[in-house]
Structure 1
Amino acid sequence: MKNLPRVISAFVCITIACTINAQIGKRFPSEKKIVKDPVTGVMLTFLTSTPAGDSKIYQTHNQWTSDGRWLIFRSNRVKGEAMAVNEETGEMVQVTEGGYTGMLNIARHSMKLYFMRNIMDTATKKILAPVQLVEVDLEKLFADSKANRLKPADAYQRICGTTPAEIGAGGDMALDADERRAYFRVSKDEAARHLPSEATIEKSFGPRNMGAGPSGIAMMDLKTGETRHVISVGFQVGHIQANPWQPGEIVFCWETGGKSPQRTWTVMANGSGLRPLYPEAPYEWVTHEAIIAKDEVAIAIMGHRKIPGTTTQTEPGTAVSGANPGQETDWGPSGTREKPTGLAIVNLRTREMTIAGQTDSGSGLWHVSGSPDGKWAVGDDFARNIYLIDRHTREMTLLSTGHKTTAADHPHPTVSPDGTKIQIQSAMLSADNRSMNICIIPIPQKTKK
C-alpha cells in the first residue's frame, strides 16, 4: 500500500492541531503525597493529587518508561497533551506538543513514546482522514527540560509516517515488541476491501448497539512510514495490543461494550494464525484481556450477575448502572456464578487456561493484570477494590479500597515490569468524588516469595 507524503505540512491548508502555549518539556511542580489506606494500612503513593483531569494509560499497555523512572499519563494540565511524572521526585514534564489521539505507547527497550495525531484543515477546522504516527525522544527531552535548554518541538518529535486517507486509521494503536512496527484499527470500508468472501459480517450485539463489522487492523513501519493491511474480520475490533516479548504477535477483541459472542482473538502480523484466544461458551462473560508475559494473557471471566430463579435475582428487564453495570437482560444468559468465574490466565502456546482467583461475592474481578515473572496477578472490582493474587499459593489479599464508585473511571490496575508495585487511577483524594489521580500501590514485602 502506498503511503502519503511524509511531510504533509507542505500543503498550505493543512497543519497539526496544536495547543497554544503548550511547549513540550514544560515542567510542573511535584504533587506527590503518601497516604495510608484506611482499611488495609498499605501506604499509597499519589504521584498527582490535584483535580487536573488525570488518567492512566489503559492496562493493556505499558505505563513506565524503559529506565523505570517515569510514568506517562493523560491529563488536562495542558489540554490535549500527555504528561510524565518522575516516580522518585514527583516532578512532571509535558511530553507531547501538538496533541495526540487514542492510545499512548511507551517503548520498553528505548526511551521513546509513540502515538497517533490527527491532522486539521485550518480553513474548515475539520479533522482530515490521514493520521500521523509520531515518535518522541524522551531521553533528550527530559535532559533538556531539566537543564532548562528546551528546543522547538521538532527537536524531540519525529513524524514516522502518515497513513493513507482511504484506510481511515484510528487511534487504537499498539507498539510491536521490536519497536519497528505499530498496529492500528482501520475503517469499515477499508476492512471490507480485504475481507474474505466467506466471512460472516456480524450485526450489533447487546444493548449498546456495538460490535457490528467489518473491521480490521493495519500496521506501519516506523522507520519507512510504509503501511500494510494485517487482517479483516466480520466484527468490530477493539483493544489492539502487541505482545511486548514476542514480535509480530497481536491480541485484540470483539468490542460490544459488554459481553461478546467471542471476546478474545489473536493473530500474527503477517495475517496468519487468526483464532479465538480463549474460546468462550454462551454462559461466559469474558472481558478486559491483557498480555502479562511472553506466553500469558490475563482475562476476567465475570461473575457479576445473579443466577436466574434465585431469591436475590435482579428483576427481569432491570438495568442497573453506576457501580453495578452489565445487568441488562439483553446481554443474554452469561456472567453468573453457576459456572467457574474469576481472574483467568490463558497460555498463548499451550492454550490452557487456569483460574488464579475470584472474590467471594460481588462483581468479581474486572480489570486484570499480572507480573511478567508469573508471581502475581491483580484485579479490581465494581467497588474499586484492588486485590492481589499470589499465583503460587492462590492466596488473595485486599490491597486497597476507598477509591470511590463515583470516580470518573475504574482503577485499571497495572503491575510494573519488575513486579514490585501496581499503578492505578483513583478518586480517593478528590473533593468532587470524580476527578482522578495517578497512584502507586506497593506489593507488600511480607507477601513477596
Structure 2
Amino acid sequence: MKMKNVLFAVSFVLFLPAVSLRAQIGKRFPSERKLVKDPVTGVMLTFLTSTPAGDSKIYQTHNQWTSDGQWLIFRSGRIKGEALAVNERTGGQVQVTQGGYTGMLCVARRSMKLYYMRNADTSRRRGALQVVETDLEKVLADSKAGKMRAVSVYQRVCGTIPDSLNGGGDMALDAEEKYVYFRVSRAEAQKHLTPGMKIESNFGPRNMGAGPAGLAGMDLSTGEIKYITSVPFQIGHIQTNPWVPGEIVFCWETGGKSPQRTWTVMADGTGLRPLYPESEYEWVTHEAVITKDEVAMAIMGHRKIAASGKRDTAGTHWSGMNPGQEAAWGPSGTREKPTGLAIVNLRTREMVIAAQTKSGSGLWHVHGSDDGRWAVGDDFSRSIYLIDRHTGEMILLSTGHKATAADHPHPTMSPDGTRIEIQSAMLSADNRSMNICIIPVPELWLKRKYD
C-alpha cells in the first residue's frame, strides 16, 4: 500500500470515533422516569427526566404533546442545541432535530410534525433563518427499529426568512398547519407602519418595549412569505388559536408590566385590537389561548399596597424571589384592584376571574384545558394550583419545586385535560437544574359530574 493511502486509512480510522460521538437525529437515551410523591399534597408526580442535564419544557403558549399523545418535546443540555422527545409511558428519550434550532419549538396537533427555525449559516448568530419541518413519525419509528436513514429523510426546509426580515426566533404554527407566523425586524416593520403612527419608547426599568415590530407568515408548502401587520411596540409571545385558522395572539413585551399587554390580529392583517384593554393599575401577563374562544391570563397581585417596592444596587431589576417590585413599573400589581387568573372571551370580549390565591404573589403563569373544565397556574413559590371552572374551587396541587430553580414551572394542560406538564427543580441537588414533570389531575376531580 502506498504511504499516501496508509495515511488516509489511518486518518479515516481516527476520524470514526469523532463522527460516532457526534449527535445524530434518532439518537436514543435511557429512561430516567421516576415516580415521586409530593411531600405536601400527596399527589404522585411523574418525572420523565431526573438527572441534572438542563432540561426545559416548551413555553405554555405552545403545544407540548405530539399528536398521538405519547411523546412530549423538550429542550435539554444532553445534546447542546437540539430538541428531544420523551415517551410519557416508558420514559425513553429520542433526539428529534439535527443541525440545531433557535427560538420556539412548534409541535403540530394534527400531524406528527415539528416545526422550528434554525440559522441558515451556522457560523453566524444572526442572518437568514430557515423554517424546518421534522417528520416525528419517521424519526421515532426508525429510531425504535435501530435503522436510521439520511437526515434528509426526516427534515425538510420549508423556506427561508431573509436576514432583512429576521426578528428573532418567535414563531407559531397555524391551526391548519399550513402556515407559521413570526416576528420581523424593526427595519422591515418600519416600512409597513401606518403613516403618522406614534412609535412607542421603552417602558419600565428593564428598558424594553420600544417599537416598531411586525408579524409575517410563511406558507409551509411553498416557502412564500406574506406580511401581516406592523405595530409601534416590541412584539413577544406570538401564539395561535389551535382551533381557529388565522387567529393570532401576541403581546407588547417589556419584561414586566406594559401599557397594553395583550393583542390579537388575523393572519390577513384585519382585526388588530387589544385583546383585554387594561388600565395602568392592572399588571397583565402570561396570556395563553386555552379554548376555541378563550384566552387565560394573569392579572398580578404581587406588590404591596403600602409600598411600591425597592431597587437593587443597580436600580434596574429586582434581585430577590419576587420580581417586578421597582417603583418605575408604576402603580399596577397590587390587590387594591381585582387580580387573579383571568379568562377573556375572544368573541364576546367578556372577562371573568376564575380564581386567586388568598395571599402571596397571586397566580403567575396560567393555562387551561381544551374543554373549558380546568384552569391551572403557578406562583412565585413555584407552587401549582388547579381550578375547577364549573365550581370555582381551587386546590394546591403540588409544591416544593424550589423558588431557586433556573426558571418557572410554566404549567401546561394536556389536550385531554387529565394532566399537567411543568419543569421542576425538585430533584436537583444544586436547587437550580430542572426536569420535565407530569402532575395528574386528581381522580376524584376527573370523576366529577355537573348539572
TM superposition score category, shorter chain reference: over 0.9
1:128 CA displacement: 4.8
2:399 equivalent in structure 1: 401
Partner residue of 2:327?
329
Specify the structure having the higher radius of gyration (Cα): 2
The equivalent of 2:444 in structure 1 is 446
* Cross-structure match for 1:297: 295
* Corresponding residue of 2:23: 22
Distance in 2 between residues matched to 1:333 and 1:428, nearest whole Å: 34
Deviation at 1:119, TM superposition (A): 2.0
Indicate the residue corresponding to 1:243 in structure 2.
241
| CA deviation after TM superposition for structure 1 residue 130, in Å | 1.1
Determine if contact 2:197/2:232 at 8 Å carries over to the other structure.
Answer: yes
Instruction: Give me the whole-angstrom Cα distance separating, in 2, the residues matched to 1:433 and 1:129.
Output: 36
Distance 2:126 2:102 in 1: 13
Cα deviation code 1:156-192 (max 9, x no counterpart): 0000011123212421000000000000011100000
AA paired with 2:425? Answer: A
Give 1:176-255 correspondences, 5 Å limit: 176-255=174-253
Contact persistence 1:119–1:128 (CA under 8 A) = no
Paired residue type of 1:111 = M
Aligned-partner residue type, residue 268 of structure 2: N
Between the aligned partners of 1:316 and 1:132, the Cα distance in structure 2 is 44
Structure 1 residue matching 2:200: 3-state secondary structure: coil
Q: Which amino acid aligns with 1:410?
A: H
What is the distance in 1 between the residues matched to 2:155 and 2:207?
Answer: 38
Partner of 2:116: 115
Choose 94-103 or 159-168, whichever is displaced more.
Answer: 159-168
Q: C-alpha distance in 2, partners of 1:350/1:128?
A: 42
Residues 306-353 of structure 1 show CA distances to partners (whole Å, capped at 9, x for unaligned) of 113xxxx36555664332110000000000000100000000000000
* Alpha-carbon distance in structure 2 between the residues aligned to 1:353 and 1:315: 29
CA deviation vs aligned residue, 1:359-390 (integer Å, no higher than 9, x gap)? 00000000000001011000000000000000
Q: Which residue pairs with 1:13 in the alignment?
A: none
What secondary structure is seen at the aligned counterpart in 1 of 2:242?
A: coil
1:74–1:83 CA contact under 8 A, matched in 2: yes
1:95-124: per-residue Cα shift (whole Å, max 9, x none)? 000000000000000000000011226xxx
Cα deviation for residue 200 of structure 1 reads 1.3
Taking a change above 3 Å as real, the CA distance of residues 432 and 371 of structure 1, as seen in their structure-2 partners, is same
Letter in 1 for 2:440: P
Aligned 1:104-183 pairs, distance under 5 A: 104-120=105-121, 125-183=123-181
Using structure 1 for the length normalisation, give the TM-score.
Answer: 0.93
User: Distance between the aligned counterparts of 2:324 and 2:125, measured in 1?
Assistant: 34
Query: What secondary structure does 1:354 align onto?
Result: strand
Q: What percent of counterpart residues are identical?
A: 73
**SS of aligned partner of 1:171:** strand
Q: Which residue of 1 aligns with 2:343?
A: 345
CA gap of 1:20–1:230, structure 2 versus 1, over 3 A, is: farther
User: Contact 1:163 / 1:169 at 8 angstroms: preserved in 2?
Assistant: no
Residue aligning to 1:390: 388
Q: Distance in 1 between matches of 2:198 and 2:356?
A: 35
Whole-Å Cα distance in 2 between the matches of residues 299 and 391 of structure 1?
Answer: 14
Alpha-carbon spacing, 1:315–1:300, altered in 2? closer, same or farther (3 Å): closer
CA gap of 1:250–1:19, structure 2 versus 1, over 3 A, is: farther
- The aligned runs of 1:247-266 (5 Å cut-off) are 247-266=245-264
Give the partner amino acid of 1:52: A
2:367 aligns to what? Answer: 369
SS at match of 1:189: helix
**Cα separation, 1, equivalents of 2:82 and 2:195:** 42
Q: Secondary structure at the match of 2:228?
A: strand
Structure 2 CA distance, aligned partners of 1:228 and 1:372? 30
Distance 1:201 1:429, change over 3 A: same
Alignment of 1:287 with 2:277, yes or no, is no
Q: Where in structure 2 are there 5+ consecutive unaligned residues?
A: 1-18
2:6 corresponding residue in structure 1: none
SS of the equivalent of 1:170 reads: strand
Partners of 1:392 and 1:315 lie apart in 2 by 37
Letter in 2 for 1:31: E
Q: Does 1:87 align with 2:85?
A: no
1:411 and 2:412 matched:
no
Distance across 1 between alignment mates of 2:121 and 2:134:
20
* Residue in structure 1 matched with residue 59 of structure 2 by the alignment: 58
Distance 2:400 2:230 in 1: 42
Quickly say closer, same or farther: Cα 1:399–1:166, change in 2 above 3 A.
same
Task: Tell me, in whole angstroms, the C-alpha distance in 2 between the residues paired with 1:421 and 1:316.
Answer: 38
Amino acid at match of 2:71: W
Contact 1:29/1:91 (<8 A) preserved: yes
The TM-score with structure 2 as length reference comes to: 0.92
Q: Residues 158 and 378 (structure 1 numbering): CA distance in 2 closer, same or farther, change over 3 Å?
A: same
CA-CA distance at 1:154 after TM superposition: 0.9
Q: What's the counterpart of residue 360 of structure 1? A: 358
Instruction: Choose which of 418, 421, 443 in structure 1 pairs with 2:419.
Output: 421
Secondary structure of the residue aligned to 2:137 is helix
Letter in 1 for 2:68: D
Please tell me whether the aligned partners of residues 37 and 401 of structure 1 are also in contact (alpha carbons under 8 angstroms): yes
* Equivalent position amino acid for 2:202 in 1: S
CA distance in 2, matches of 1:20, 1:165: 33
Count of equivalent residues: 425
Matched, 1:70 2:71: yes
Aligned to 1:15: none
What residue identity is the alignment partner of 1:266?
T
- Measured against aligned partners, the alpha-carbon deviations of 1:200-227 in whole angstroms (never above 9, x if no partner) come to 1000000000000000111100000000
User: 1:199: how far off?
Assistant: 1.5
Query: 8 Å contact 2:249–2:263 — kept in the other structure?
Result: yes
Distance 2:161 2:355 in 1: 43
The one-letter code sitting in structure 2 at the alignment partner of 1:32 is: R
